[in-house]
């Protein structure tokens, strides 16, 4: 199962151009996983437009048949701490989740993930 970063999800929900279209296609056509943190990041971004948009986005994502929301668990803390050496805290949680789920691809536009042994791709 491949990993999708919050930035791709945000494009899928907000962008009407190429990035949004390609992101929507990715989310519709692949079984993907993402950290539960992505819900926070998406809701935060969309809440700047309106709380209604943020709530609708969380509802869509939490009921998506193609997206698995992966929790951050107490047993993840040690790996999280080690990832803090090379990542900011939020990216460390995303990196940890992708690693934990044995993703072969991380869909993201964030080049910070290039330091992982997981291929990073953008869907556009």
Domains and CATH numbers, the chain: 2-121 (3.40.50.1010)
Predicted local confidence at residue 23, as pLDDT: 98
- Residues 120, 107: Cα–Cα separation, whole Å: 6
Confirm if 60 and 9 have CB atoms less than 8 A apart. Answer: no
Helix (H) or strand (E) holding 48: none
Predicted local confidence at residue 37, as pLDDT: 98
What are the start-end ranges of the E strands in the chain? Answer: 2-4, 32-35, 67-70, 105-107, 119-121
Predicted local confidence at residue 66, as pLDDT: 97
Query: Tokens at residue 77, please?
Result: 């803390």
Predicted local confidence at residue 33, as pLDDT: 99
pLDDT, tens only, 17-39: 999 999 999 999 999 999 999 99
């Amino acid at each position: 199962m491949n990993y999708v970063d919050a930035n791709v999800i945000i494009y899928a929900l907000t962008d009407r151009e190429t990035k949004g279209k390609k992101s929507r296609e990715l989310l519709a056509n692949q079984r993907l996983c993402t950290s539960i943190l992505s819900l926070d990041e998406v809701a935060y971004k969309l809440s700047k437009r309106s709380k209604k948009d943020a709530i609708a986005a969380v509802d869509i994502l939490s009921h998506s048949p193609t997206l698995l929301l992966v929790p951050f668990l107490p047993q993840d803390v040690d790996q999280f701490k080690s990832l803090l050496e090379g990542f900011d805290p939020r990216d460390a949680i995303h990196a940890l989740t992708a690693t934990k789920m044995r993703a072969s691809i991380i869909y993201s536009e964030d080049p910070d993930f290039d330091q992982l042994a997981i291929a990073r791709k953008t869907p556009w």
